[in-house]
């Protein structure tokens, strides 16, 4: 058996790491997963990208609200995609988020806070008519379990309910990676006619695709 990796997943070139909001915005927009990473049949939703300054916050009532972007964040963007309904299948909605922090420590704090949120609020209101329940969260450092891609990874699984689907429960997944001072996340809301394997594959493709884009843009020339 080969030894478990113990070092970082990837060491960026310090000269290529964004230090300004403008550089962070350029990186985040280039990295975030659009329909091309989620897989065949996916298209952009309207709007396709989050508004400038978008920063959701989970309040004390476990309700997601609009918040203020923390000082430690250089830029954050969310891309919205979907596989439209058809042939007996409902609309499969997905989203991807890229956040560029000023330094690694602040990115690590974001990962820790994400873990804490599921523990604090296993039931969460996403917006009017949409909620998740029974959330369970687990984190893995590089080299543990199946994480051979990121410095840290988080997985959250629960049940999604929405008025559009008659309040029936579907699988909800939020998975997040950290590579250096950049975090990437992919979220999926299940729908009729879509298998769990299909949804998992799309989520992995989006996450790994974003991680590879980060490595390509920030890797040390060798």
Instruction: List pLDDT tens digits, range 21-67.
Output: 999 999 999 999 999 999 999 999 999 999 999 999 999 999 999 99
Q: Output the pLDDT for position 91.
A: 94
Task: Tell me what the pLDDT averaged over the chain comes to.
Answer: 90
Boundaries of every domain in the chain: 24-218
Dihedral in degrees, nearest 10, Cα atoms 119, 125, 131, 132: -10
Task: Report the predicted TM-score, pTM, of the whole model to 2 decimal places.
Answer: 0.91
Average pLDDT over residues 192-197: 92
How many whole angstroms separate alpha carbon 201 and alpha carbon 222?
32
Candidates 125, 161, 160, 153; CA nearest to 137 is 153
CATH 2.130.10.10 fits 24-218, yes or no: no
Q: Output the pLDDT for position 11.
A: 82
């Amino acid at each position: 058996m080969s030894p478990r990796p113990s070092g970082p997943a990837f060491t960026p070139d310090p000269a290529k790491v964004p230090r300004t909001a403008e550089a962070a915005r350029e990186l985040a927009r280039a990295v975030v997963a659009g329909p091309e990473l989620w897989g065949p049949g996916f298209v952009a939703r309207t709007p396709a990208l989050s508004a400038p300054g978008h920063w959701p916050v989970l309040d004390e009532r476990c309700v997601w609200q609009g918040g203020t972007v923390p000082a430690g964040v250089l830029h954050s963007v969310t891309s919205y995609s979907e596989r439209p309904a058809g042939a007996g299948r409902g609309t499969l909605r997905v989203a991807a988020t890229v956040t560029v922090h000023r330094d690694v420590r602040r990115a690590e704090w974001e990962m820790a806070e994400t873990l804490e949120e599921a523990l604090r609020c296993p039931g969460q209101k996403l917006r009017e008519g949409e909620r998740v329940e029974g959330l369970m969260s687990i984190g893995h450092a590089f080299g543990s379990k199946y994480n051979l891609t990121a410095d840290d990874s988080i997985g959250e699984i629960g049940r999604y309910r929405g008025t559009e689907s008659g309040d029936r429960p579907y699988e909800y997944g939020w998975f997040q990676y950290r590579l250096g001072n950049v975090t990437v996340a992919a979220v999926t809301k299940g729908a009729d006619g879509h298998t769990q394997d299909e949804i998992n594959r799309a989520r992995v493709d989006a996450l790994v695709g974003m991680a590879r884009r980060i490595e390509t843009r920030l890797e040390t020339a060798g």
